[in-house]
Amino acid sequence: MDRAEGAGLGLSIAGHVALLAILSLNLMSVRELPKLSEPMDVMLVDKAGLTSAAPEVSKEPPQAAQAPEVGPTTEEPPPEPTPTPTPAPAKPQPTPPTPKPAPTPKPAEKPVPPKPAPTKAAEKPTPPAPAKPKPKATSLGTDFLKGIPVEKSAGKAAAPRAAAISPIAMNGLVALIASQVKPCYTIPAGGTDTTSIISRIRLRLKPDGSIAIAPEVIGNLGVSPANQPYVRQMNEAATRALQRCAPYKLPADLYEAWQDLIFTFRPTQMS
């Protein structure tokens, strides 16, 4: 046998040995699987047997699994300690400058109060203007138009209406109204004492001259115990005369003067 054949044989033997070693390690690391129990046979018979058909359990202890051999662990040397760097010494900080004291504030000057302005002489109060005298109502005599004097009623807003008409216009208006009332008046029959009874009747008219409110007796004069029973009769005669003559034909522009009137009937002056 030459050298080349011997070398090949040696390599072949070494390869087989290595292969066996690897296989033996793999076989040792595989654990044995537990054995499955065999299935139980069940037989259908009339009477069940007293013996159990379960398989007998082996009393031999199982073989312990062998762990693969592990070589000694090579401990690595501990790492060398890292040197700690030495901190550099801190630089000294500069000393802060000493603050200067704040200047003392000057006391605030007190404001000088302004001098009071010289008081002007009090002005003399202006004397109030004298009130204008209100125009008086037209005074009509008792003998005007034979006993039928007409005057303004003392109702509301009587003063402004009288002030808007001059005395001359008022006299003409009274004469116009009395001339329309006289033909409608009839003296009632009675004793001589009835002619002394004077009736005062209030009459309120509409703008067209018709009566707005029924004539109203507001008083009597010349009443005595002898003619007392005839007072009502004389008042009705005066009221009836005012109603018969309506509507009155009066100037529309003077309506404020004749819309509310008082008539005084004197029987002694109506003939």
DSSP per residue, 24-75: HHHHHHSPPPPPPPPPPP----SS--SS--SPPPP-SPPPPPPPPP-PPPPP
pLDDT range class, residue 264, cuts 50, 70, 90: very high
CB 214 within 8 A of CB 201: no
What mean pLDDT comes out for the span 120-139?
Answer: 46
Domains for the chain: give ranges and CATH numbers.
Answer: 150-269 (3.30.1150.10)
Instruction: At 16, list the tokens.
Output: 């087989």
pLDDT range class, residue 46, cuts 50, 70, 90: very low
pTM above 0.75, yes or no: no
* Distance between CA atoms of residues 216 and 261, nearest Å: 11
Worst-scoring range by mean pLDDT, 16-20, 67-71, 241-245? Answer: 67-71
Instruction: At 91, list the tokens.
Output: 């630089």
* Distance between CA atoms of residues 186 and 163, nearest Å: 34
pLDDT for residue 12: 85
